[in-house]
Structure 1
Amino acid sequence: MDLFDDLPEPKQTPVPVSAQQKSTREEEEEVKEEEEKSLKRKREDAECHADKKEEEEEEKEEIKKVCREGLPVLRGYVAARRGEREEMQDDHVMLPDMSSCMSALPCQVSRVSYFAVFDGHGGARASRFAAEHLHHNLAKKFPSGETENLDKLVKKCLLDTFRQTDEDFLRKASSQKPVWKDGSTATCVLVVDDMVYVANLGDSRAVLCRMEATAGGGGGGVGGQRKVVTLALSKEHNPTIYEERMRIQRAGGTVRDGRVLGVLEVSRSIGDGQYKRCGVISTPDLRRCQLTANDRFIILACDGLFKVFSADEAVKFVLNVLQEGSVEKRSGVTEEEVRFEAACQQLASEAVRRGCADNVTVILVSIGF
């Protein structure tokens, strides 16, 4: 016997929706409506947050833009001469705006510029390696975000960068057959907004030309009102300097004829793996200088220039070219740029004319406010 025989057959006519069913459907619609409202509010909040973040970023950029307007305008010019050498062993890098190499800058910094010369010896591989890698290592180690004591961090960054670049090159050099014995000096000018940091190894040099007002506007001034001051921004490292010689001797090395082991002319360098155990190091000297409206230019050059020019002579030579009467006009180039380019090229050529047989590389950095 079927237990469900007594149940009536379902009717085909539509059954009216009960009040309770209506109530349930309305509740579902209300819940759905609330969810849609909630999603809409979240979208609006997210858009509002994004707009606010965008406004904050724009505000930061605006602040940096205002700061940037008061910064010195730097332009780099380079001249290189092989001299009587069979091979050009110098290298150089000019990055008036280094931000493209960096993931982020410190919040208080608007611009970082980098100029460097590398004077190779024993081959061109160490100078080329340093030119290719040192600024990338610097960019990776450079402080970013909110920072305190930026000066200390930048100096640490430079020290770490030189050590890293030297270690990387020595590792590569020692893996070659035969082992590379190349070495290189390094003089780097890093400009953070209006603060110049100079890190150098060896005997390449950096000097700054500053025009200072004279008392009463007379005596020795340019045009009777300003005098030329040459500021050394770097320190030479050769084995004849007392501190350098003592370090070399403590490490078991000797200095003969003014050279390490009678061979190497510099006491600090990148590379030179065979001399590292004799006290030759890659720790740079660091100097700092704030740029002012009185500053005209920086000369950054290998020792090929300074073998035949004193720092003062080089600065005055450049000033004379800048003050010459007529210049050849070129489309899309300002008269000042033409003058600086000419000064840079003529300075390098004059070094060769004066009898410098070495490679000569000169970077001239113009400073304008």
Structure 2
Amino acid sequence: MTFWNPLGAITTLCYYLFNLLIPFSTLLKALIFLYIHDSLSIVNVGTTNKEKIKERAVDNMGICGLVSCISSTSFEIQPVDFGNENVVNYDDNNINGNQQVIGSVFSQQGNKGINQDSAILYQGYGVENGVFGGVFDGHGKNGQVVSKFVMNKLPSLLLKYILSLPKITSTKQNVKLVDEESVKNKNFNKWKEACLSSFKVMDKDIKSLEKLDCSCSGTTAVVAIRQDDDLIIANLGDSRAILGRKTEEGVIEAVQLTTDLKPSLPSEAERIKNCDGRVLALKEEPHIQRVWLPHEDVPGLAMSRAFGDFMLKNYGIISKPDVSYHHISPNDQFLVLATDGVWDVLSNDQVVSIVCATNNAAAAAEAVVQASLDAWKQKFPNSKRDDSTVICLFLQ
């Protein structure tokens, strides 16, 4: 329950007065904005797609909101714990439940064991219409722990780094056409710097976790950040992001935004071999290239970049993401992020067709996951099915 707070009202009034009179720094505005958020409404969507709302009160000693908590003494952004849910759909702009649904997230456990996938779709990230979407495919003995840890911490970690940089100018503001490209480049460079820094720190934080062996455990990450019409993609591993874009003929086509970062890529294999790692496939899996230690047939990682997997970090496996930029145009209809449990059995075009046929933002992610389950049964009837996780975000 939320109560009227006189101090919060005064703070809100001061915020708008200051906004009119003095160009305060981005950090100060963020601190005031965070302060007037006196509760969080978090919607967790599990593998059964049943929603449950958890209301969390503000800690009186801190300032909470924006999937982060800023201490009143240290001003250090801390992540909010989303609990044990592996999939989270959180809308900071939709506390009363009366806004249009623009996306969905869904995950289905395979039959290899516990679901090691995690995903978060966070609306209201950074700016009012901003979005953070991320899917994380864990692997190894503790993969599910690593993927959930990254899901919980990475959004606030990215926000921390972007707030520490000079103010970002929206491309929607009135700027001359000759300057528009320069503004986009500056925006992207700031977000790229924030992504590279936060991914590096994220990997160090995983390594520092007590009583958690991540020598052969880790997670992929594909992250999409929307800020107005700017779309930033950060990719680590073999999860994938695609775009559904309308052509001049009115057909929705698939545009792949990321590269699957696997040891089969020549540039990735070269880096690994230059670090004395080995890249080779098993006889029973000739189509899957894996990464091995120089003189031991372990661990056999099927991707070339990941969080964790510290046994291979000296042999070419890195946590540095590929970061790219896309300016959202009116023809860009929707974005899909998914783990390889989907891409191993469905093509980009098939996924786009499924989303178009669904034409429902709330049901699109589940429809893609269900199609991947059916495809697994047809293509690999005798093999164990991988976990499948999808985020679908409609852009118009």
Question: What is the TM-score of this pair, normalised by structure 1?
Answer: 0.68
Pair 1:284 & 2:302 matched:
no
Of Structure 1 and Structure 2, the greater helix share is in 1
Q: Does 1:342 align with 2:360?
A: no
The Cα shift of 1:111 comes to: 4.6
Is the alpha carbon distance of 1:285 and 1:179 closer, same or farther for their aligned partners in structure 2, counting shifts above 3 Å? closer
For 1:248-287, what aligned pairs fall within 5 Å after superposition? 248-257=272-281, 258-261=289-292, 263-287=300-324
Q: State the partner residue of 1:125.
A: 145
Q: Which runs of 5+ in 2 are unaligned?
A: 1-13, 30-99, 169-182, 282-288
Q: 2:244 aligns with which of 209, 227, 230?
A: 209
Question: 206, 213, 222: which one pairs with 1:169?
Answer: 206
Q: Where do 5+ consecutive residues of structure 1 fail to align?
A: 1-48, 62-72, 100-108, 215-225, 323-338
Larger radius of gyration: 1
Question: Following the alignment from structure 1 to structure 2, what is the Cα–Cα distance between the partners of residues 146 and 291?
Answer: 21
| In 1, Cα distance between equivalents of 2:15 and 2:387 | 56
Given candidates 132, 138, 160, the residue that maps to 2:158 is 138
1:102-113 superposed matches below 5 A:
111-113=129-131
Q: Alignment partner for residue 159 of structure 1, among 179, 186, 196? A: 196
Could you say what secondary structure the match of 1:358 adopts?
A: coil
Map of 2:73 onto structure 1: none
Higher mean displacement: 353-362 or 147-156: 147-156
- Give the aligned residue type for 2:368: L
* Count of matched residue pairs: 271
Work out the CA distance in 1 between the residues paired with 2:15 and 2:308.
50
Cα drift, residue 206 of structure 1: 0.5
Mapped partners of 1:178, 1:313: distance in 2: 38
Tell me if structure 1 keeps the 8 A contact 2:101–2:361. no
Which protein is richer in strand relative to its size? 2
Equivalent of 1:358, from 367, 375, 386?
386
Compare relative contact order (CA 8 Å, sep 6+) and give the higher one, 1 or 2: 1
AA aligned to 1:279 is: G
Q: Distance in 2 between matches of 1:203 and 1:50?
A: 43
On the 8 A contact 2:243/2:334 being kept in 1, the answer is yes
- Superposed CA RMSD in Å reads 2.7
Q: 8 Å contact 2:214–2:308 — kept in the other structure?
A: no
Contact 1:74 1:96 in 2 (8 A): no
TM-superposed CA distance for 1:237, in Å, is 0.7
How far 1:343 sits from its partner (Å)?
2.7
Whole-Å separation in 2 of the counterparts to 1:187 and 1:253 = 24
The alignment status of 1:83 with 2:110, answered yes or no, reads: yes
- For 1:50 and 1:205, the matched residues in 2 are separated by 40
Once the two structures are superposed, what CA deviation does each residue of 1:251-303 show, in whole Å capped at 9, x if it has no partner? 01101201001610000000011111110001111111111121211110000
Q: 1:56 aligns with which of 1, 21, 26?
A: 21
Offset, 1:150: 2.5
User: Is the Cα–Cα contact under 8 Å of residues 74 and 367 in structure 1 kept in the other structure?
Assistant: no
3-state SS, counterpart of residue 370 of structure 2: helix
2 CA distance for matches of 1:89 and 1:282? 19
- Of 279, 304, 307, the residue aligned with 2:341 is 304
Identify the residue that residue 13 of structure 1 maps to in structure 2. none
What is the aligned partner in structure 2 of residue 232 from structure 1? 256
Give the 3-state SS of the residue equivalent to 1:340 in structure 2: coil
Q: Is the 8 A contact 1:74 1:365 kept in 2?
A: no
Shift of 1:198: 0.3
Contact 1:138 1:158 in 2 (8 A): yes
Measure how far apart 1:180 and its partner are.
Answer: 5.5
The secondary structure found in structure 2 opposite 1:77 is: strand
Change (3 A) 1:297 1:179: closer
2:301 aligned counterpart, secondary structure? coil
Q: Which residue of 2 aligns with 1:39?
A: none
Q: What SS does the aligned partner of 1:142 have? A: helix
State the AA in 1 paired with 2:395: I
Residue 266 (structure 2) pairs with residue 242 (structure 1): yes
SS of match in other structure, 1:88? coil
Amino acid at match of 1:129: F
Distance 1:177 1:50 in 2: 43
Partners of 2:115 and 2:333 lie apart in 1 by 29
Letter in 1 for 2:117: D
**What is the TM-score when the length of structure 2 is the normalising length?**
0.64
Deviation >4 Å, runs of 4+: 49-52, 177-180
Measure, in 1, the Cα distance between the counterparts of 2:368 and 2:188: 33
User: Pairwise mapping of residues 86-105 of structure 1 onto structure 2 (< 5 A)?
Assistant: 86-99=113-126
- One-letter code aligned to 1:232: Q
Aligned counterparts of 1:127 and 1:81: Cα–Cα separation in 2: 15
Tell me the equivalent position of 2:219.
184
For residues 22-67 of structure 1, the C-alpha deviation after alignment (integer angstroms, 9 at most, x for no partner) is xxxxxxxxxxxxxxxxxxxxxxxxxxx9996464379x99xxxxxx
Deviations 1:291-343 (A, max 9, x none): 11212111100000001101111101211222xxxxxxxxxxxxxxxx22233
- Is residue 188–residue 325 contact of structure 2 (8 Å, CA) maintained in 1? no
Task: State percent identity of aligned pairs.
Answer: 28
> Structure 1 residues 141, 177: closer, same or farther in 2, change over 3 A?
closer
